[in-house]
Amino acid sequence: MAISIVGSGFYSLPAMADKRIAADPAEEIWRQSAPQDAYAPFIGHVSALHAETAGESYGYNWRGAPVEQPDWRGVRRDVTYFLGYQFAAIAALYVAPESVSGWDREQKQNYSFSKWRNNVSNPVWDEDRWWVNYVTHPYWGGAYYTQARERGLDRAQAFWYSALLSTLFEYGAEALAEPVSIQDLVATPVVGFLVGEYLFTPVRARIRAKPGELDWSDKTLLFVTDPLGVLSAQTDRLLGMETTLRWQPIGMQTPALAANPPGYSRSAVPVWGLQFRGEW
């Protein structure tokens, strides 16, 4: 099943028109038809060009730049997914050795609501290994930040998004096993902002500026710097949800001249617009 929504804003592309067409907008007739099927041969070329220049992709946006306007619906979906991901992360930490998780056997076995309530009520300065607090957590802060930037959020919004996910993790599934960590609440979004903005962002921009196809090492770096973005795209697919946004012809305009002066053509001209398509 598919739903297509065509944006109301449109304009004709002069380069595609016959140069002899009269240019008075009041004398043009707007005719909308099937956005994709009616122009399949023409759109095939346009879509390929757009995919290369604007990064259109099915699933994760590997090639193109982040969107310019906040995708708040996508942000809400990402947060919902994250609430599920964190329990998967807790499962991984549960089976990890104590040197990695920082949880002893007693902490792993004594899960209860009363323990969670006590852990979230009494934040502590934890004693985890330095690389857990000041490498792992800032890395995830940078990943949260990057995911938000890919959704079109600005720097400040992405910072608070990172802080939100960090807080959800500290006060969520992780609090089942240990008290909320004070330094993690601070280091994750603050140092994560620096990692995301001044390390991950330049790396991603350099990769995406490369001509031609991206190789496996490029995609690996894009994944490492935005693992949750890739995971969310794949989760969309697993749930049977796929969305695309295309810049393409969505109808035709025909000049409505009172008479046809010699040398003038009334050939239809493609009109361009945004088409959102959701499939499930």
Report how far residue 186's alpha carbon sits from residue 71's, in angstroms, rounded to the nearest whole number.
26
Q: Is residue 190 part of a domain?
A: yes
DSSP string over 8-42: S--EE-GGGS-TTS---GGGEEEEE--TTGGGHHH
- How much is the pLDDT for 162? 97
- How much is the pLDDT for 142? 98
Q: Is residue 206 part of a domain?
A: yes
Q: Is residue 174 part of a domain?
A: yes
Q: Is residue 280 part of a domain?
A: no
Q: Is residue 197 part of a domain?
A: yes
Q: Which domain holds residue 99?
A: 72-238
- Structural domain tally of the chain? 1
Positions of the chain with pLDDT under 50: 1-57
- How much is the pLDDT for 255? 58
Q: Give the single-character DSSP code of 209.
A: T
Whether the CB-CB separation of 86 and 173 falls below 8 Å is answered with yes
pTM given for the model: 0.62
Q: Give the single-character DSSP code of 242.
A: E
- How much is the pLDDT for 56? 38
Q: Is residue 15 part of a domain?
A: no
Question: Three-state DSSP class for 97?
Answer: coil
Report how far residue 90's alpha carbon sits from residue 169's, in angstroms, rounded to the nearest whole number.
10
Q: Please list, residue by residue across 258-270, b when 16 or more beta carbons sit within 10 angstroms of its beta carbon and e when fewer do.
A: eeeeeeeeeebbb
Q: Which of 67, 239, 75 is nearest to 144 (CA)?
A: 75
Q: Is residue 229 part of a domain?
A: yes
pLDDT digits (tens, 9 = 90+) for 169-202: 999 878 887 899 999 999 999 999 999 999 999 9
- How much is the pLDDT for 155? 96
Q: Is residue 145 part of a domain?
A: yes
- How much is the pLDDT for 171? 93
